[in-house]
Amino acid sequence: METARRASLVASESVRVTNPAGTSPLVLTCDHASNFVPPEYGALGLSKTELSEHIAWDPGALAVAHGISSRLDTALIETRISRLVLDCNRPLDAPDLMSEVSETTPVPGNKGLSAAERKARIARCWTPFHDAIDAVLEDRDDAGLASWLVSVHSFTPVYKGVHRPWHIGIIHDEDARLAAPLIAALEALPGITVGVNEPYSPADRVYFTLEKHARPHGLPCAMIEIRNDEIRNEAGQIKWVTALAGIFARLTPESRIPQIRYSNTAG
C-alpha cells in the first residue's frame, strides 16, 4: 500500500487510527465506538434517547480502548459512525449489516434501502474501517513489528428481558492463545464474574473483524466484552483500563503468545 494511502487512513469521517506504530504487539479495534449519525440520514427516524442507547453503539468501550492504548503504547482503530448506519463487525452479506430492527427497536431509516443506498453506506463506513485495519497491520509488518488483534466492545446488562451476570466476557474461537491467559488473569481478580464466550460467541456472528483480519494471518486474537454499566462513568472506565492494561502488560513473549508477523502466514 502506498504511503499516501496509508496516511489518508489515519483520520477520516468514518474511521480514526491512533498510534499506528505503537511499540506494543497489541493492536486494538473499537468496532462500535460512536453513536454519531450523519445529518443527511435524519437520525434514522430515531429519538436522541434511542441514539444514546446500546443499539446505536457500545457505551464506554472507546474510553477503555483509548485508556489501554495510552498506557501501553498500542495502535487503535475506531469507527466514527453509528453501527445503526452500518455495522462494521459484520460481513457484507449479513442480514443485520443495516438492521431494520435493532434488538426490539425499529429503525425507520434502514427500511427498504435500495441497492445504491446500501452500496454508498458500505463505501462510506465498512470499506474505510477494514482498509484502515489492513493498513495498520501491513505497516507494522513492514516495520518488523508483530501484532495481536483485540476488539473492545461493551454489552447491555439486560437483553430482551434476560439479565446477564458477567462483568466481562472474552470471546474466542478454537485459537485461544491470547484468550486463555487473558481469561485466567481475569478470573484471578476478586469479585469479577468472567464469561467465556458469553454473552456472545463466534457462532453469534460477532467475531467478523477478527475472522477477517487476524485468523487468515495466524495472528493471536480475542474479543473483549465489558458490561456497559461497569464503564458508563470515568471511575469504572479507569478501573477496567487499569485491570486490562496490567494484564496485557504481563503478556510478554515469555507468556508463549507467538510474535507473529502479519504477512508470514497469509494465504
Cα(207)–Cα(216) distance, integer angstroms: 13
Q: Is residue 116 packed enough to be buried (19+ CB in 10 Å), middle (13-18) or exposed (0-12)?
A: exposed
pLDDT at residue 263, as a whole number: 64
Domain limits, the chain? 3-255
pLDDT at residue 160, as a whole number: 83
pLDDT at residue 5, as a whole number: 44
Q: What is the pTM of this model?
A: 0.91
In the chain, which residue ranges form alpha helices assigned H by DSSP?
3-8, 48-52, 61-72, 115-121, 127-142, 179-187, 208-213, 234-250
pLDDT at residue 255, as a whole number: 60
> Under CATH, domain 3-255 is a member of which superfamily?
Zn-dependent exopeptidases (3.40.630.40)
Bridge-partner residues for 150, per DSSP? 28, 222
User: What phi and psi, each to the nearest 5 degrees, are found at residue 76?
Assistant: -145, 130
Per-residue pLDDT of the chain in tens (267 residues, 90 and over written 9): 344 345 445 568 899 999 999 999 999 999 999 999 999 999 999 999 999 999 999 999 999 999 999 999 999 999 999 999 999 999 999 999 999 999 889 999 999 999 999 999 999 999 999 999 999 999 999 999 989 999 999 999 998 889 999 999 999 999 999 999 999 999 999 999 999 999 999 999 999 999 999 999 999 999 999 999 999 999 999 999 999 999 999 986 446 676 666 665 443
β 221-227/168-171 pair status: antiparallel
pLDDT at residue 77, as a whole number: 98
Cα(56)–Cα(84) distance, integer angstroms: 6
Residue 103 CB neighbours (<10 A): 11
